[in-house]
Structure 1
Amino acid sequence: MSINHINLVVKNVDKAVNLLTDIFKFNLMVNRNSKMAVLKDNNNFVLVIWGQELNKEKDVPQYPKNFHIGFYQDNEIAVQNIFELLKNNDELKIDAAPKKIRNTFGFYCYFENLMIEISVNPFNYEQAAHEDV
């Protein structure tokens, strides 16, 4: 058995799609009238972006504390490069620059109320921490 997809609820589907395709390199499979979109990454992982209006609610969706999605990078340089791409993005809120977090290196940002982690894979952080990209 394998996980098929994850469904994330957002207020603005088009802005979420732009972020995920431009920065995180997802491929847009379908966008249904800016109310729901289906994306796929290079590993065939499917991410469904569900518009809050389909839930018949107007507010930005709330996620439980500490719920987040994460994107592993090969090394600290890759994390820093993504930080540089994102730090002036008006759609995101970034709390702090990349730093040592737990047993890895990374940072958190927020799209609407969705927390996103960008970090070096903590399971092989020691050997990847200082490699060149």
Structure 2
Amino acid sequence: MTINHLNLPVSNVAETITFFESYFDFKCLETKGDNMIAVLRNPADFILVLMSSKMSKTDNTTYPDAFHLGFILDSSEKVNELFSKLKAGGIQLEREPQKIRNSFGFYFYFGELFIEVAHYLEQS
């Protein structure tokens, strides 16, 4: 069995499409309505569905405190490169990448989404 997709309610679908395409190698395959739903795919064939909060019964995009999306990169250098790219793109980042438990990475918010970018360090 495999997970088919992840659906994320967001307040601005068009802006979130641009974010995932610009920084996380997703490509938008399809949008429905006036940016009410977007279907994105990354090079690993993971499907991410972005749904406008206007489609929910309560217009709610509040996630639990610990909820986050985690992206694992191949090296600490790639983590630093993505951090620099996000910063150059005007994404607000509070902390530089650093060692976090057995990884090197950083966390940040994009809109209502809490995102982790990391590289797992070798265990000695």
Q: Do Structure 1 and Structure 2 share a fold, with TM-score over 0.5?
A: yes
Matching residue of 1:80:
80
C-alpha distance in 2 between matches for 1:68 and 1:9: 13
The Cα shift of 1:58 comes to 4.7
What is the TM-score normalised by the length of structure 2?
Answer: 0.91
The Cα shift of 1:51 comes to 0.5
Q: How does 1:19-98 map to 2 (within 5 A)?
A: 19-32=19-32, 33-58=34-59, 61-90=61-90, 92-98=91-97
RMSD, aligned α-carbons: 1.6
C-alpha distance in 1 between matches for 2:99 and 2:13: 32
Runs of 4+ residues deviating >4 angstroms: 56-59
C-alpha distance in 1 between matches for 2:39 and 2:79: 26
Runs of 5+ in structure 1 lacking a partner? 128-133
Matching residue of 2:7:
7
Count the aligned residue pairs: 122
State the Cα deviation string for residues 64-116 of structure 1 (Å, max 9, x = none): 011011111111110000000112444x4322010011111000111112101
- Identity, in percent, stands at 37
Runs of 5+ in structure 2 lacking a partner? none
What is the TM-score normalised by the length of structure 1?
Answer: 0.85
